[in-house]
């Protein structure tokens, strides 16, 4: 597994920071990786693509987005549902780049069904790749982030905040992630680690699949967005994540930022 480096000096608001982005090969994750590279960060992209495909993707992203000024990138194939994956992921980032400043827990797999049809398998999938994977990665990353006074960005969802139909397992896991994030923000503030949550609404392959399976629920979500559109992963969601990863948000922790076009107001 090799790392890909652009040419030229590293500049930008995230220059010299090192980030882990899970689920970084597609959807919101890919948008975050693109933004981080353009802002000067070096990124360990974690996903389930075969290694050769992942490394080609990373090379393309560096060439496309870094414009000669960004950080390096490396691809790591890892299943975050595996309890042994978290320490290996953190070790790979530190071994490659020498430090860790940012952990972005973006990856999350789930299957949708009404509550009466929700199975143990669906529950285990959502919690195994969501709340439990997030907790394990946070625990594994803590020693490194304490050294750099780093930032953790986790992902919530309006599915949990609003209780969207057919989203029971996913919604429960997302709300568990928000609860874990608030606890960690309080416990780890003394270590200089900030922990925040982004709750996005974005047009991703997963949302497209859900919209075809449950068109009425999808239309209800769309009708509830004051800005009248779903967000773009790179242009609308990734900048919020980059803000929380950078030094401009150094006084922000324990918060949920709604990158959702105004569909949910948290007061």
Asked whether the beta carbons of 102 and 20 are under 8 A apart, the reply is yes
Asked whether the beta carbons of 139 and 89 are under 8 A apart, the reply is no
What integer best gives the mean pLDDT of the chain?
A: 93
pTM given for the model: 0.93
Share of the chain above pLDDT 70, in %: 94
The CATH T-level fold of domain 3-259 is: Rossmann fold (3.40.50)
**Euclidean distance between CA atoms 184 and 263, whole angstroms:** 27
**From the CB of residue 216, how many other CB atoms can be counted at a distance below 10 Å?**
8
Q: Taking residues 42-60, what's their average pLDDT? A: 95
Instruction: Judge whether residue 177 has pLDDT over 80.
Output: yes
- Banded pLDDT at 10 (limits 50, 70, 90): confident
pLDDT at 139: 98
pLDDT at 62: 85
Instruction: Judge whether residue 67 has pLDDT over 80.
Output: no
**Euclidean distance between CA atoms 233 and 257, whole angstroms:** 15
- 104 forms bridges with which residues in the sheet? 21, 153
- 19 forms bridges with which residues in the sheet? 43, 102
pLDDT at 5: 60
Asked whether the beta carbons of 155 and 108 are under 8 A apart, the reply is yes
pLDDT at 3: 62
Asked whether the beta carbons of 102 and 18 are under 8 A apart, the reply is yes
Give the residue from 92, 65, 91 showing the smallest Cα distance to 76: 92
**Euclidean distance between CA atoms 126 and 193, whole angstroms:** 26
Asked whether the beta carbons of 24 and 45 are under 8 A apart, the reply is yes
Query: What are the tens digits of pLDDT across the range 96-108?
Result: 999 999 999 999 9
pLDDT at 196: 98
N-term to C-term CA, the chain: 45
Query: What are the tens digits of pLDDT across the range 202-232?
Result: 988 878 887 888 898 788 878 989 999 999 9
More confident residue, 206 or 73: 73
Q: Taking residues 184-204, what's their average pLDDT? A: 96
Edge to edge, the sheet with strand 73-77 lists 3-4, 73-77, 42-47, 18-22, 102-105, 151-155, 194-200, 256-259
Domain ranges of the chain: 3-259
More confident residue, 208 or 177: 177
Pairing between β-strand 73-77 and β-strand 42-47 as defined by DSSP bridges = parallel
Handedness of CA 163, 124, 259, 28 (dihedral sign): negative
pLDDT at 267: 64
Q: Which residues are catalytic?
A: 170
């Amino acid at each position: 597994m090799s790392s890909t480096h652009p040419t030229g000096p590293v500049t930008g608001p995230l220059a010299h920071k090192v980030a882990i982005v899970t689920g970084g090969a597609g959807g919101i994750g890919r948008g975050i990786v693109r933004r981080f590279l353009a802002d000067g960060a070096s990124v360990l992209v974690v996903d389930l693509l075969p290694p050769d495909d992942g490394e080609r993707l990373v090379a393309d992203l560096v060439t496309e987005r870094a414009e000669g000024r960004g950080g390096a990138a490396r691809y790591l194939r890892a299943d975050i549902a595996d309890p042994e994956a978290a320490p290996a992921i953190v070790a790979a980032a530190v071994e490659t780049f020498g430090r860790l400043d940012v952990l972005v827990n973006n990856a999350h797999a789930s299957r949708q069904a009404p509550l009466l049809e929700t199975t143990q398998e669906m529950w285990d999938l959502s919690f195994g790749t969501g709340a439990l994977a997030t907790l394990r990665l946070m625990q594994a990353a803590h020693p490194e982030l304490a050294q750099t006074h780093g930032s953790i960005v986790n992902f919530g969802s309006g599915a949990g905040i609003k209780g969207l139909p057919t989203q029971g397992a996913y919604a429960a896991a997302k709300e568990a992630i928000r609860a874990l994030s608030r606890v960690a923000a309080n416990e780890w503030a003394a270590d200089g680690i900030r922990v925040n949550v982004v709750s996005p609404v974005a047009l991703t392959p997963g949302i497209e699949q859900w919209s075809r399976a449950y068109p009425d629920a999808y239309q209800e979500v769309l009708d509830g967005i004051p800005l009248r559109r779903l967000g773009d992963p790179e242009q609308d969601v990734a900048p919020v994540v980059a803000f929380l990863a950078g030094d401009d948000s150094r006084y922000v922790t324990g918060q949920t930022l709604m990158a959702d076009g105004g569909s949910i107001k948290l007061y």
